[in-house]
Amino acid sequence: MNALIKSATIVDSKSDFHNETVDILIEKGRIAKISKRISNPNNYREIKLDNLHVSQGWFDSSVSFGEPGFEERETIDNGLKTAAQSGFTAVALNANSNPVIDSYADITFVKSKAQNKATSLYPIGALTKASNSEDLAELFDMKNAGAIAFYDYQKPLDNPNLLKIALQYASNFDGLVCSFPQESRISGTGVVNEHINSTRLGLKGNPALAEELQIARDLFLLEYTEGKLHIPTISTAASVELIRAAKGKKLDVSCSVAIHNLVLTDDYLDGFDTRYKVLPPLRTQKDCEALIDGLKDGTIDMVTTDHNPIDIEDKKIEFDYAKFGTIGLESAFGALQTIFSTKKSISLLTQGKQRFSVNESTISEGAIADLSLFNPDADYQFSKSDITSRSKNSAFLGMTLKGKVYGIIANNKIVLK
């Protein structure tokens, strides 16, 4: 693949060309030249776009596509197309499928479905067999097949001894164990944050305590085992403090926060719209502010869309019975920019690669072209026409977002909207 990108502003603090507006020549999938002005004698495809900015490719540490088993929600093929058009050159795929991805063969299957795509797919294997929290899955075999981490998606591991064993076992091959932060006996059948709004609306509450107790337990186990732990999608102010203290002890822990938990609060629940039924639930403004501070000071390592397509039959029903989840790939950049500067938003979208063993590539001559293309200044109202996913369950529909994504150049391919 050969191309010439014209007049692009580079946003990459690790690049010598950071903040410069330049032309970028790509030959055979690599950056051949970066200069103020490059001619095109070979008649390569030219990419000229309004207010074009370019950064190293974005990474999402938590996406679900459904396949195998839930193709009506999303397929791997269309999911990767959606990711590419949303600016992501790499995504980590949860074992949120039927059957659950819990073996060498399952990892091989999903990787085969993602071959020759612009966006790279990195599978996360289930931590326990069938994600049933009873027996550990084939962790070492899945690691050898290409699994980058192990996680029972949004299913708490109630047995602390099982997590202890997982942390000890995975440390033998540098495996990354993920534990969903929810104490299920405390959360019970709660569907929203337990607070003033849950009481006012008559909806069952899931208290912040459920998350914080589980995180405290997991951090004690981590300290005991000296393992390697990732806590996905934290959502409360006290959770930030717990992880901040753990990092102060030099424990090998990382965590993420879903973008919707940064931008939205439980005040959005007034209309009983199930698009806002997510797990962990939307919390309070105080929690949002603490999470944002956690990202600013590095306590929280990365953001994620926690992209989770849900078909209309499981969303357009009574709030108590609707499934948890929102899609988030298409809205990620625009939503982040309602809170952070462009530079910080890009930093957050590229962090996490090292933790999940994903290839990093700065924008420099000779480097592999792994690029996200975008206009950071375009304000627009997010609508269904902006959604490429099969499922349309976005919590950001109707919101004014800032920044339009053009697409990506990665894996020797160009994908533009």
Query: Is the separation of the CB atoms in 178 and 215 below 8 Å?
Result: no
- Span 77-83, average pLDDT: 98
Give the Cα separation of 170 and 176 in Å (integer): 7
Structure tokens belonging to residue 178: 């993920």
Tens of pLDDT, residues 347-356: 999 999 999 9
What's the average model confidence in pLDDT over 186-191?
98
Name the H helices within 255-305. Answer: 259-263, 285-296
What pLDDT is attached to residue 39? 95
**From CA 300, how far away is CA 351, in angstroms rounded?**
10
Instruction: Work out the average pLDDT over 397-401.
Output: 97
248-276: string of b/e by CB count within 10 Å (b at 16+)? eeebbbbbbbbbbbbbbbbeebeeeebbb
- Is residue 100 over pLDDT 90? yes
CA separation, residue 15 to residues 10, 19, 55, 138, 353 (Å): 8, 9, 10, 40, 17
Mean pLDDT of 357-375: 95
Residues 6+ apart with CB under 8 A from 13: 343, 347
Q: Cα torsion for 226, 232, 236, 237, to the nearest 10°?
A: 50
Residue 329 · residue 74 · CB < 8 Å: no
Q: Give the pLDDT score at 416.
A: 97
Q: What is the pLDDT of residues 135-172, one digit of tens each?
A: 999 999 999 999 999 999 999 999 999 999 999 999 99
What is the mean pLDDT of the segment spanning 37-48?
94
338 burial (CB, 10 Å; 0-12 / 13-18 / 19+) is: middle
Report pLDDT for 146. 97
Return phi, psi of residue 408, to 5°: -140, 160
What pTM value is reported for the model? 0.96
Domain 3-53+367-381+403-416 matches domain 56-350 at the CATH topology level: no
> Is the CA virtual torsion 265, 268, 269, 274 positive or negative?
negative
Residues above pLDDT 70, as percent of the chain: 100
Confidence at residue 28, expressed as pLDDT on a 0 to 100 scale: 96
pLDDT of residue 25: 98
Judging by beta carbons within 10 Å of its beta carbon (0-12, 13-18, 19+), is residue 302 exposed, middle or buried?
A: buried
Residue 308: what pLDDT? 98
Half-sphere exposure in the Cβ direction for 339 (13 Å, CA): 22
The pLDDT of residue 361 is above 90: no
Question: 204 pLDDT band (50/70/90 cuts)?
Answer: very high
Whether 251 shows a pLDDT value over 90: the answer reads yes
For the chain, count helices (H), then strands (E).
Answer: 12, 18
- Please write the tens of the pLDDT for every residue from 316-347: 999 999 999 999 999 999 999 999 999 999 99
Helix (H, G, I), strand (E, B) or coil at 150: strand
CATH hierarchy code of domain 56-350 = 3.20.20.140
What pLDDT shows up at residue 390? 96
Residues present in the chain in total: 417
Architecture of domain 3-53+367-381+403-416: Roll (2.30)
Among 60, 106, 266, 306, which one carries the catalytic annotation? Answer: 306
Q: Which of 213, 279, 222 is nearest to 64 (CA)?
A: 279
pLDDT of residue 131: 97
Which pLDDT does position 20 carry in this prediction?
A: 97
User: Structure tokens of 211?
Assistant: 């998350």
Q: State CA 417 to chain mean position distance.
A: 21
pLDDT at residue 171, rounded to an integer: 97
- Give catalytic status of residue 50 as yes or no: no
Question: What 3-state class would DSSP assign to 373?
Answer: strand
- Whether 244 has a pLDDT exceeding 90, the answer reads yes
Spatial distance between the Cα atoms of 292 and 26, rounded to a whole number of angstroms: 36
In the numeric block, the tokens 């990092």 are attached to: 247
Q: What is d(CA 178, CA 150) in angstroms, rounded to the nearest whole number?
A: 6
pLDDT-derived band at 35 (thresholds 50, 70, 90) equals very high
| Ranges of each domain in the chain | 3-53+367-381+403-416, 56-350
Question: How far is residue 96 from each of residues 93, 127, 152, 308, measured CA to CA in Å?
Answer: 8, 12, 8, 9
pLDDT tens for 102-115 read: 999 999 999 999 99
pLDDT > 90 fraction of the chain, expressed in percent and rounded: 99
Half-sphere exposure (Cβ direction) of 106: Cα atoms closer than 13 Å: 27
> In the structure encoding, which two tokens stand for residue 403, read together?
């920044």
pLDDT at 391: 97
Q: Note whether 221 and 246 are within 8 A (CB).
A: no
Query: What is the DSSP secondary-structure string of 378-399?
Result: EEEE--GGG--SSS--BTTTT-
* 84 token code pair: 């590419």
Q: In the prediction, which pLDDT does 41 show? A: 84
pLDDT (average), residues 211-231: 98
